[in-house]
Structure 1
Amino acid sequence: MIVDQIARREAYEEIGLPMDDARIPKPFRIEQLCYLPPSLARTHLVVTPCVAFLHADRTSPDSPPALVEDSMMPRLDAREVAAVFSAPFYNFLKATDLPPRPGETLPPGHWYDGAWTNYKGEQWRVHNFYVPVNNQRVSRPRRGSAAQIELADQLEVSQDHEGRFKVWGLTGRVLVDAARIAYDEEPEMEHNLDFGDLKVIKIAQDEGALDESHENSPPVKRDEDKPAKM
Structure 2
Amino acid sequence: MSSKSKIKLNRRNLPFGSRNYLGYHSQSDVRIERTGKLRLSTNDLERNANLGTLTNESKRCLRNLAAYKPPKDAFPQPWLPFPRSRCAAVLVALFVGRKGDLYVLLSKRASTLRSFAGDTSLPGGKMDPEDKTIEDTARREAFEEIGLPPDQSKVPLLCVLEPFYVAKELLVTPVVVLILDNTLQPILNAPEVTALFSHPLASFLSSTPPASIIRSEPELVELGDDGTGYRYHISHDWDWDGPPVVVDPSKVRHAKTKRTDRRSSLVSDSNSVEPIIQRPKFRMHQFLTGREAGGIKPVYGLTAAIMIHTARVGYSPSPPALASPDFEVSPPGSPSTSTRIAWAFCRPNPPDRPNLLRQALEEEGLAGKVDWKRVYFVT
* 2:343 maps to 1:210: no
Whether the 8 Å CA contact 1:174–1:196 is kept in 2: the answer is no
Out of 127, 141, 156, which is 1:10 matched to? 141
Query: After superposition, what is the alpha-carbon deviation per residue over 1:160-216, rounded to whole angstroms, capped at 9, x for unaligned?
Result: x558641101000000011001001211112138997221111111123414569xx
Identity of aligned residues (%): 30
* 2:312 maps to 1:201: no
Cα distance change, pair 101–171 in 1 and its aligned pair in 2 (3 A):
closer
Instruction: Find the counterpart in structure 2 of residue 108 from structure 1.
Output: 219
Out of 15, 18, 34, which is 2:159 matched to? 34
Q: What is the rounded CA distance, in whole Å, between the counterparts of 2:360 and 2:176 in structure 1?
A: 30
Whether the 8 Å CA contact 1:107–1:163 is kept in 2: the answer is no
Output aligned runs, 1:1-230, within 5 Å: 1=35, 2-21=133-152, 29-56=154-181, 68=182, 71-100=183-212, 104-109=215-220, 110-121=231-242, 122-133=280-291, 159=292, 161=293, 165-184=297-316, 185-192=323-330, 197-207=337-347, 208-211=355-358
Shift of 1:13: 1.5
Write the letter of the residue equivalent to 2:238: T
> When the two structures are aligned, how many residues end up with a matched partner?
168
RMSD between aligned residues: 2.9
SS in 2 for 1:132: coil
Write the letter of the residue equivalent to 2:308: V
Instruction: Find the counterpart in structure 2 of residue 155 from structure 1.
Output: none
TM-score of the aligned structures, taking structure 2 as reference length: 0.40
Q: What is the rounded CA distance, in whole Å, between the counterparts of 2:328 and 2:163 in structure 1?
A: 20
Write the letter of the residue equivalent to 2:286: N
Q: What is the rounded CA distance, in whole Å, between the counterparts of 2:345 and 2:207 in structure 1?
A: 34
Query: After superposition, what is the alpha-carbon deviation per residue over 1:63-85, rounded to whole angstroms, capped at 9, x for unaligned?
Result: xxxxx4xx433222233324211
Structure 2 gap segments, 5+ residues each: 1-34, 36-132, 221-230, 243-279, 317-322, 348-354, 362-379
TM-score of the aligned structures, taking structure 1 as reference length: 0.63
Write the letter of the residue equivalent to 1:88: P
SS in 1 for 2:357: coil
Instruction: Find the counterpart in structure 2 of residue 144 from structure 1.
Output: none
SS in 1 for 2:344: helix
Write the letter of the residue equivalent to 1:18: P
Shift of 1:107: 4.8
Shift of 1:108: 3.1
Whether the 8 Å CA contact 2:204–2:308 is kept in 1: the answer is yes
State which structure, 1 or 2, has the greater radius of gyration over its C-alpha atoms.
2
Write the letter of the residue equivalent to 1:32: L
Cα distance change, pair 211–15 in 1 and its aligned pair in 2 (3 A):
farther
Write the letter of the residue equivalent to 2:192: E
Q: What is the rounded CA distance, in whole Å, between the counterparts of 2:241 and 2:136 in structure 1?
A: 31
Shift of 1:47: 0.7
Q: What is the rounded CA distance, in whole Å, between the counterparts of 1:33 and 1:128 in structure 2?
A: 25
Q: What is the rounded CA distance, in whole Å, between the counterparts of 1:195 and 1:13 in structure 2?
A: 34
Instruction: Find the counterpart in structure 2 of residue 154 from structure 1.
Output: none
